[in-house]
Amino acid sequence: MTRTISKVAKTLNINVETVRFYERRGLIAQPPKPEIGYRQYPEDTVNRIRFIKRAQELGFTLEEIANLLSLNDRPCSQVQDLAEHKLSAVKEKMADLHRLEKALKALLVQCHNNDDESHCPIIESLQP
């Protein structure tokens, strides 16, 4: 089954410009333009875009997704290395967010206990 770019976009609930952007980035191939009519995108392209969108939802960058796509026919160990690197980055980000949560909670406790309306502990903590 083939589809025009607008039908691909509608099927995937994305903008036509997203499809064009992926073409420019080399993530998907642009089908040849026929002499009459519109370019027709094969089902493989639709599935590839689904993969790209799902990988983005999981936090992969377009560069990382391009790497994953290039590893499609490679040994699993190479894909595993990339996934382990991403997992490490996610864990670091989670640790940073946990530290931020802890700091914000401490500041909120200070605010709740603040009897002086002329200053705010949160604002004071952000000033150099």
Please identify every stretch of the chain with a pLDDT value under 50, giving residue numbers as ranges: none
Residue 75: the pLDDT is 80
Residue 91: the pLDDT is 95
Residue 21: the pLDDT is 97
The HSE-up count of residue 128 (CA atoms within 13 Å, CB side) is 0
CATH assignment of 1-70, among 3.40.630.30, 1.25.40.80, 1.10.1660.10, 3.30.360.10: 1.10.1660.10
**The token pair that represents 10 in the structure block:** 């509608």
Residue 127: the pLDDT is 80
